[in-house]
């Protein structure tokens, strides 16, 4: 959440956290464990918290049941209808989300660029809170913190930061032109990986793109890679020596941020390298 270089924080000071995912929950719990009493304002596009997890068996699903390559509205109708059927039979939507996991990358790759853009713009935050869930006890703690006013959720856009006394944070609530200025003592950036790889804070990634050894994928959410994770250069040629794994490859694979998925990806690359030698 912080670092050894952090200055002491007044336990009653106001804090702002851009981002409302799992990293935000970690930051909030660290503050709570340090007996922080000040208000924590959480800013994200939709102001939504991750859902709580339950130990349930995934819905059994065959690839033939999944509408690969469909439009986003059609896919949503299929998903909601199936979720309704499951819940009418006494089941839980979590089983459906988990049952889709083996097909998530294939679903993403079957969509057109237009459909992928629609998903990222309109549905990604809601997908994330259902897909990346909290343990029940942590979910309950977050709900209690919100109910007691210790955590305030703001659906808006984080705009800028300027130093002014204890600090100034600007937030524009979603759907308005209003500019809200907030004085806070500390900011914990939990916004996750940059949504535009061209604006990456990683100097290695910036240098690779700048010198043409790599290029952003068409959606700019990662680096362009081929099906074997070889990084594609500015001329469209896959590298023979440079490979990428994890979130940097999400333009091609999307569901590649959780450790189980990355582990499978790395195992495949290792086999590929061994086969070449």
Which of 112, 129, 146 marks a domain boundary? 129
Last residue of a domain, one of 103, 129, 155: 129
**Count of residues making up the chain:** 277
119 and 137 assigned to the same domain: no
Task: Give residue 7's pLDDT.
Answer: 67
Token match 């033939």: residue?
A: 64
Residues 33, 87 within the same domain: no
Distance (Å, rounded) from C-alpha 85 to C-alpha 66?
15
| Residue 11 per-residue DSSP state | T
Report the domain count for the chain.
3
**Which residue range forms the structural domain that includes residue 218?**
197-276
Q: Which pLDDT score, from 0 to 100, does residue 241 have?
A: 92
Q: Which two tokens stand for residue 40?
A: 């924590």
The tokens describing 79, both together, are: 């998903």
**CA 111/CA 71 separation, integer angstroms:** 8
Residues of the chain with pLDDT under 70: 1-7, 159, 162-176, 192-195
Q: Please indicate, yes or no, whether residues 29 and 145 belong to a single structural domain of this protein.
A: yes
- What CATH number did the domain enclosing 163 receive? 3.50.50.60
pTM: 0.83
56 found inside a domain: no
Tens digit of each residue's pLDDT (9 = 90 or more) over 192-223: 655 678 778 789 999 999 999 999 999 999 99
Residue 107: closest CA among 93, 95, 91, 123: 123
Q: Is residue 235 part of a domain?
A: yes
37 lies in the same domain as 101 = no
Element (H, E) at 107: helix 104-110
Residue 1 belongs to a domain:
no
H/E stretch holding 146: helix 136-147
- Predicted pLDDT of residue 276: 84
DSSP string, 64-76: GGS-TT--HHHHH
Co-location of 115 and 138 in the same domain? no
- 243 and 174 housed in the same domain: no
Q: Write down the pLDDT at residue 212.
A: 95
- Whether residue 140 is found in the same domain as residue 29: yes
Residues 142 and 25 in one domain: yes
> What is the spatial distance between Cα 22 and Cα 26, in angstroms, rounded to a whole number?
6
Domain boundary among 89, 114, 129: 129
For residue 180, what pLDDT is reported?
A: 74
By CB atoms closer than 10 A (0-12, 13-18, 19+), residue 214 is: buried
pLDDT tens sequence across 13-24:
889 898 899 999
């Amino acid at each position: 959440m912080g670092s050894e270089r952090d200055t002491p924080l007044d336990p009653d000071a106001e804090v702002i956290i851009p981002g409302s995912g799992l990293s935000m929950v970690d930051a909030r719990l660290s503050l709570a464990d340090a007996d922080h009493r000040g208000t924590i304002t959480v800013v994200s596009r939709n102001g939504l918290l991750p859902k709580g997890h339950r130990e349930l068996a995934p819905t059994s699903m065959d690839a033939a049941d999944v509408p690969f390559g469909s439009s986003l509205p059609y896919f949503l109708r299929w998903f909601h209808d199936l979720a309704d059927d499951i819940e009418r039979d006494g089941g839980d939507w979590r089983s459906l989300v988990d049952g889709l996991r083996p097909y998530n990358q294939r679903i993403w790759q079957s969509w057109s660029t237009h459909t992928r853009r629609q998903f990222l713009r309109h549905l990604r935050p809601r997908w994330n809170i259902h897909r990346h869930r909290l343990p029940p006890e942590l979910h309950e703690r977050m709900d209690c913190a919100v109910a007691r006013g210790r955590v305030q959720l703001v659906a808006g856009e984080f705009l800028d930061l300027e130093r002014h006394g204890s600090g100034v944070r600007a937030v524009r609530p979603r759907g308005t032109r209003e500019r809200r200025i907030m004085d806070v003592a500390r900011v914990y950036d939990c916004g996750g990986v940059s949504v535009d790889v061209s604006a990456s804070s990683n100097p290695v990634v910036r240098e690779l793109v700048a010198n043409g050894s790599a290029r952003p994928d068409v959606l700019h959410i990662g680096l362009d890679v081929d099906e074997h994770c070889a990084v594609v250069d500015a001329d469209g040629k896959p590298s023979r020596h440079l490979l990428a794994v994890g979130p940097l490859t999400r333009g091609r694979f999307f569901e590649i941020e959780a450790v189980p998925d990355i582990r499978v990806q790395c195992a495949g690359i290792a086999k590929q390298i061994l086969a070449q030698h």
